[in-house]
Amino acid sequence: MKNNIEKSRYELEMNGEVAYADYKLDNNILSIKYVFAPPALRGTGAAGNLMKEIMDHARSESLKVIPICGYAASWIKRHDEYADLVK
């Protein structure tokens, strides 16, 4: 996973395609605004892998997470091990 600070998004490249998550970081609160996987990566687990890496990064940086995006919110609900990071 790459943190593209200029575009305020995390990016994960797979098979020459890029899944990404737009975010806003303010006062140690990471708001996940939008998660996108191109059609070629849908169904491959790319978006889920990206979310896992984002949440692991948030934990390592002691960030709280606000999942604005519906996909991000539903992914976090399915992964209780990250519930403590949700603001």
Instruction: Please give the pLDDT value at position 29.
Output: 98
Q: What is the pLDDT along the chain (87 residues), one digit of tens a residue?
A: 999 999 999 999 999 999 999 999 999 999 999 999 999 999 999 999 999 999 999 999 999 999 999 999 999 999 999 999 999
Instruction: Please give the pLDDT value at position 56.
Output: 98
Instruction: Please give the pLDDT value at position 21.
Output: 98
Distance CA 57, CA 31 (A): 13
Q: The tokens of 57 are what?
A: 């990064």
| Domains of the chain with CATH codes | 2-85 (3.40.630.30)
Tell which residue, 58, 14, 60, has the closest CA to residue 32.
Answer: 58
Instruction: Please give the pLDDT value at position 16.
Output: 95
